[in-house]
Structure 1
Amino acid sequence: MTSEHFDAVIVGAGFAGIGAAIQLKRMGYENFVILDREDDLGGTWHVNHYPGLAVDVPTTTYSYFFEPNPNWSRLFSTGAEIKQYAGDVADKYDVRRHMRFGTVVESARWDEEAALWRVALAGGETVSARFLFTATGFLSQPHMPDIPGITSFDGRVIHTTAWDDGYDPTGQRVGIIGTGATAVQLIPELAKKAADLTVYQRTPIWVVPKVDFRFSERAKRVFARFPLTQRAIRAVTDTIYELMVSVGVVHYKNTRGRFNIAAGDLAKMHRFATIRDKELRAKLTPDYDFGCKRPTFSNSYYRTFTKPHVHLQDSGIARIESDGIVAVDGTKTVIDTLVLATGFDLWEANFPAIEVIGRGGRNLGKWWRDTRFQAYQGVTMPQFPNYMSLASPYAFLGLNFFNTMEYQMRHMDRVFGELQRRGATTFEVTEEANTRYLDRMTELLGDSLFTTGDCASARSYYFNPSGEPTLLRPTSTRKAIQEASDFPLSDYRMS
C-alpha cells in the first residue's frame, strides 16, 4: 500500500544526500524526503566513531566548496568535527526537516504506467516519488570476514563501524584484524591502553608522514571574517591532491610512475627512521605500487609496532577459537577482545545498496554484473528513468568525495533545468550516450596506475570482482565539473 507521494526520495542522509537535497531546494523542489536507516545524519561519519577517527584529506578540501567552515580545529579534523559540519550544513540549508531516520529502504521499482518510483520500506510500507536518488555512499556496507570459527569466539567482538564507546581496552589482550586506513588510525589508540595487542595483517599499507597542525583561534577569526583566506588555503590543498591523483594515478603510464616511486621512497624513509628491526620493516613493506590501494598518513602507526606489547602477525589466520586466534604458522594468541577493522563491502553489497528495478524489469545489480559496471557521468543508467545513483561506477574523483558531489550537483542542475524548461516529467540517459561514456572511461583507464602499474597483490576496493578499476572517474575535477555543466542534452531522452 502506498501511503505517501513525493516529488523525490533520497536514500541516505550523508554528505551526498545532503548535497542532493540542497540542489533540489535550489531548483524549487520542497516536497521530498530523505530516508536513512541510522538514527541521525552524517552517513559514514555518523556510523564510524572509533578512537582516532579523523579525515585523511585536509579539511580545507574535505568540505562543500559553497560552504567553507572557518571552525576546523586542525588541518586533518576529527570525525566528530566532520559529523558536526554535516549537521551545521543540514540546518543552514533547511534540509534536516526532510529527513526520516530509522527507516530501512529495501527496494525501488519503476512503475511504467504511473511513471513513478515505488519505494518499498522495511515493515511493508511503500512510498512513491517522481524522482529517486540513492545517496548510499561507497562506504556504507560493513565487510564481515569469512574466517572459520569467528562466531565461536566467547570474548567481545567489535567491528569498527559499530564501535562501543563504553569499551575500555585498558589491561586487555586485544587482537585486531586489518591494516587498512581505519586500522592505521585505530591501532595506535588501542596500543596506548591494551596490555597486549596483536595486529593481523593480510596486506601491508603505504603510510607516509602526516603534516598536521592546529588552527589558532586567531586563524579561525580570520577565516570567518575573510572567507577568501580559507579559499586560498583550499586552492593549495586542492591543487596538491589533484596533482597526486592526476600524476600518480590517471596519467601513470605517461609519467612512468615517477611520482609513485618518490612517494614510495618517502614511506620507505618513514619506516626506516621509525623501525630499526629489519625483519619487521620488511613485513610492513607493500609489494604493490604506491596508490594501487588507498595510501594513508600517520606519524604514529609505524612507531606503534616498536612497542614490546604490540605484535604483527602476517602469516594469515587459520581459525578463530573460543579464546583466541590460531595463525597459519600454528601460533595461537589468546585474546579478550577481537576488533574487526575489515572495512566495507563495496562491490557485492553496495552496487547497488538496495534493489533497484528499472524499465522493463531491468535489475540494476544483475545488469551491472551481467554486462559491466557502468554509469553515464557516474550518475545515470539507461532503462532507469528519473533515477540518479550518487555512488556509482566511474563516479569517484580520487581522494575527495566532495569534489564528486560538486559535479553531481551540477549534473542535477543541468538535467532538471532542462526538464523544467521543456515542461517534461521524465528523463533517461540513452544507451548510445552511456556506451560512448563507458568506452571513453575504459580508454582513459588504459593509461592509469590500475591498468599499467603493479597492483596484483593490493586487494584494493578500487577494483570490482572482474578486476576492472571501475570505481574511479579518470579525469580531473575541473574536467568533471565542466562536463557536468555542458554535456550534450541530447544524451538524455526527456518526455
Structure 2
Amino acid sequence: MGKRIAVIGAGMGGLCAAIKAREAGHEVKIYEHADSVGGTWRANRYPGVACDVPAILYQFSFAPNPHWSHHYARGPEIHAYTRSLVDQFGLGEALHLNEGVVRAAWDAEARHWTVETEKGARATFDAIVPALGQLSRPQWPAIAGRETFAGTMFHAADWPEGIDLTGKRVGVIGSAASAVQLIPEVAKVAGHLTVFQRTPNWIVPRNDVAITPEAKALMATRMDVAMKLGAAQRAMIFDQADFLTWQAFQWTPEGRAAFTRAALDHLEAQVPDADLRAKLTPDYPVGCKRILICDDFYPALCRDNVTLVTGGVDTIEPGGVRTADGLVELDVMIFATGFETTEWNWSMEVVGTGGRTLREAWADGPEAYLGIMVTGFPNMFVLYGPNTNLGHNSISFMIEQQVAYMLRTLDALDAEDASAAEVTADGQARFQQRIEQLLAGTVWADPHCNSWYKAANGRIYQNWAGNCTDYAAATATVDREAVALT
C-alpha cells in the first residue's frame, strides 16, 4: 500500500528518493527552501566549480546523461542535470520550492509525522526523508577582526552574482577543495592574488579531457549502444575507485606508497621552484585529509601575480590581512574554508518519540544505523547521513543504496501489516561499534590526522568505513534483528 512521504531537500538525494518512491507507488511531496533544485550544485557558483568524481559515476544509474562536456562535470552542468530530472520524471507537481521545512514531529498514537513548513503549512506523512546533505553550511574561521574589513568579503559558497575581480587585490583564505578550483580562475583576472594556506594538501592529477561534440552526438543518436558502453565504462571506473583508490584510505602500504608517489610526481612536474614545492608538500600521511584532484592549481601558484603565504593569519584589519611579515593589503577577501561538518545543525527541528529532539539525540555526536535510521525516530530515513561520506567513490551510488533500503523497509511494513519501522537502540549501538572498529584501521583514525572528517572529540562521524560494494551489501536486506516493525 502506497505511503505518503515527505522528502526534505531537493538536492541529488532528495530527487533520487522522490523518483524511486513514486515509481514504487508512493505519494511524495518534496520540500525545498531554495528557488531551484540541485542542492550544493545550485548553491555553489564560484568560478571553476566542478565535481572531483568522474561524471559517469556522478549521475544516477537510472538516468544517464549523454551531454557532459568533460570527463569531470562542471558545476553548472550538474545543476542542469538535476533540473532535467524534474522534467524527465515528472516531479513538478510534487515539488514545493521556496518552502523549506522548519519542524517535523512524530505522533506515536496516530503513527505519522506532522510536517510544518516555513510558509506555515502543515501536513501529515507516513514517513519523512531528510535529504539535507553534509556540505551545506559554510564554515567561517574564527579570525579576529574579520568584521572590520573595509573591502568586499564573502564565502566561496555564497559567490556574489556579477562580481568583477578584474585588476583587484584579492586574498583567498583556504587552499582545499573549493580553493584549488577557484584560485586558477581568479588568478587569470586579479591584479594580484594572495593565497593564505594553513595546511598543504595532497593533490593528484585530474587528467581531465573534453568530450567531443561528435562523441556526444553519437551517444545521443544511439542511446541503446551508448548505455551499454556507458555501463561497462562506469563499472570499470567504479571498480578502480572501490578497490584501488580505497587502499589509500584503508591505509595499506601499497595504497599509501602509490598515492604518495603520484602526488609528489605531480607536484614536482608542475612546480619547478624548490622553495615553493616545500611549502606545498604535506607533512601528514596521504588520505588523512581529502585527496584533491586538480590539474591547474599548481600552475596558478607559479604565476607572477600570485603569492602563497604560509605563515598564518594573525588578524584581519580594515585594509587587509595582518601576518607575521606585515599587512597584506586587499580589496577583496574570499573565504574558501569549507563547510561545517561535525555539528550536524540541521535547518529544521525533528521531534521523535517521547518529545525527544534529534538535536538532543545527537548531542554527543550523530549516529544512524547504516547512516539512514535513528533510534527513537520511526519511519525517518536520512540520506547522506552520518558515516556515509566517501573519499574515493561517488556519493550518488551511496544515495541509490539508501533509497533502495528505504523502499525495502516500507515494503516490509506492508508485508507484516505494520505501520512503523525503527532501528532498535541495540541495533544502532552494534552498528556504531562495528563502524568504529573498522574506522580504526583507516588513515583517518591516525592520532596525527586532523581533518573535517573528524570531530573535536576524535570521533569520525562523516565517513563510511569501507568501500561502496560493502555498503551495497550492508543495505541489501532489512535485518530484523536490528529493525523493529510494529
Shorter-chain TM-score tier: over 0.9
TM-score, with length taken from structure 1: 0.92
Contact 2:165 2:189 in 1 (8 A): yes
**1:449-464 map, 5 Å:** 449-451=443-445, 453=446, 455-456=448-449, 459-464=450-455
Rounded Cα–Cα distance in structure 1 between residues aligned with 2:266 and 2:389: 29
1:410 partnered with 2:404 = yes
> Does the residue aligned with 2:315 lie in a helix, a strand or coil?
strand
Deviation digits for residues 353-403 of structure 1 (CA, Å, limit 9, x no counterpart): 433221112222232233x43211110011111111113212224431111
**Candidates 465, 470, 474, aligned match of 1:474:** 465
- Tell me by how many angstroms 1:107 deviates: 2.7
**1:32-431 map, 5 Å:** 32-122=28-118, 124-224=120-220, 225=222, 226=225, 227-250=227-250, 252=251, 255-256=252-253, 258-327=254-323, 329-348=324-343, 350-370=344-364, 372-398=365-391, 399-431=393-425
Contact 2:374 2:428 in 1 (8 A): yes
Amino acid paired to 2:291: P
> Does the residue aligned with 2:387 lie in a helix, a strand or coil?
coil
> Does the residue aligned with 2:362 lie in a helix, a strand or coil?
helix
> Does the residue aligned with 1:174 lie in a helix, a strand or coil?
strand
Rounded Cα–Cα distance in structure 2 between residues aligned with 1:17 and 1:305: 38
Rounded Cα–Cα distance in structure 1 between residues aligned with 2:291 and 2:192: 27
Deviation digits for residues 174-203 of structure 1 (CA, Å, limit 9, x no counterpart): 011111110000000000000010111111
Rounded Cα–Cα distance in structure 1 between residues aligned with 2:356 and 2:185: 47
Contact 2:248 2:259 in 1 (8 A): no
> Does the residue aligned with 1:65 lie in a helix, a strand or coil?
coil
Amino acid paired to 2:333: L
Structure 2 gap segments, 5+ residues each: none
Cα 1:232–1:221 shift into 2, 3 Å: farther
1:23 partnered with 2:16 = no
- Tell me by how many angstroms 1:171 deviates: 0.6
- Tell me by how many angstroms 1:39 deviates: 0.9
Rounded Cα–Cα distance in structure 2 between residues aligned with 1:261 and 1:203: 21
Amino acid paired to 1:479: D
Rounded Cα–Cα distance in structure 2 between residues aligned with 1:424 and 1:373: 27
Deviation digits for residues 132-188 of structure 1 (CA, Å, limit 9, x no counterpart): 111011111111222111111121112111112311111100011111110000000
Contact 1:390 1:408 in 2 (8 A): yes
Rounded Cα–Cα distance in structure 2 between residues aligned with 1:160 and 1:118: 36
Of stretches 98-107 and 376-385 in structure 1, the one that deviates more from structure 2 is: 98-107
- Tell me by how many angstroms 1:123 deviates: 5.3
Contact 2:315 2:321 in 1 (8 A): yes
- Tell me by how many angstroms 1:125 deviates: 4.2
Runs of 4 or more, structure 1, over 4 Å off, are none
Amino acid paired to 2:247: V
The aligned length equals: 479
Cα 1:454–1:209 shift into 2, 3 Å: farther
Rounded Cα–Cα distance in structure 2 between residues aligned with 1:455 and 1:81: 38
- Tell me by how many angstroms 1:422 deviates: 2.4
- The residue aligned with 2:431 is 437
Rounded Cα–Cα distance in structure 2 between residues aligned with 1:193 and 1:120: 46
- Tell me by how many angstroms 1:49 deviates: 1.2
Contact 1:427 1:493 in 2 (8 A): yes
Deviation digits for residues 270-292 of structure 1 (CA, Å, limit 9, x no counterpart): 22222222222111111111111
Rounded Cα–Cα distance in structure 2 between residues aligned with 1:208 and 1:445: 24
Contact 1:410 1:481 in 2 (8 A): no
Rounded Cα–Cα distance in structure 2 between residues aligned with 1:197 and 1:213: 27
- Tell me by how many angstroms 1:330 deviates: 4.1
> Does the residue aligned with 1:218 lie in a helix, a strand or coil?
helix
Structure 1 gap segments, 5+ residues each: 1-5
TM-score, with length taken from structure 2: 0.94
Deviation digits for residues 242-301 of structure 1 (CA, Å, limit 9, x no counterpart): 124431213x2xx23x22222122211222222222222111111111111111122211
Contact 1:159 1:340 in 2 (8 A): yes
Contact 1:208 1:297 in 2 (8 A): yes
- The residue aligned with 1:3 is none
> Does the residue aligned with 1:489 lie in a helix, a strand or coil?
coil
Contact 2:384 2:399 in 1 (8 A): no
Tell me the C-alpha RMSD between the 2 structures.
1.8
Cα 1:403–1:384 shift into 2, 3 Å: same
Rounded Cα–Cα distance in structure 1 between residues aligned with 2:469 and 2:412: 22
Contact 1:27 1:417 in 2 (8 A): no
1:10 partnered with 2:3 = no
Percent identity reads 34
Rounded Cα–Cα distance in structure 2 between residues aligned with 1:87 and 1:48: 15
Rounded Cα–Cα distance in structure 2 between residues aligned with 1:455 and 1:400: 27
Contact 1:223 1:229 in 2 (8 A): no
> Does the residue aligned with 1:219 lie in a helix, a strand or coil?
helix
Rounded Cα–Cα distance in structure 1 between residues aligned with 2:435 and 2:274: 42
Contact 1:411 1:485 in 2 (8 A): yes
Deviation digits for residues 2-30 of structure 1 (CA, Å, limit 9, x no counterpart): xxxx9222111000000110121122112
Deviation digits for residues 278-328 of structure 1 (CA, Å, limit 9, x no counterpart): 22211111111111111112221111111121111111111111121111x
- The residue aligned with 1:485 is 476
> Does the residue aligned with 1:97 lie in a helix, a strand or coil?
helix
Contact 1:70 1:230 in 2 (8 A): no
Amino acid paired to 1:126: R
Rounded Cα–Cα distance in structure 1 between residues aligned with 2:26 and 2:457: 40
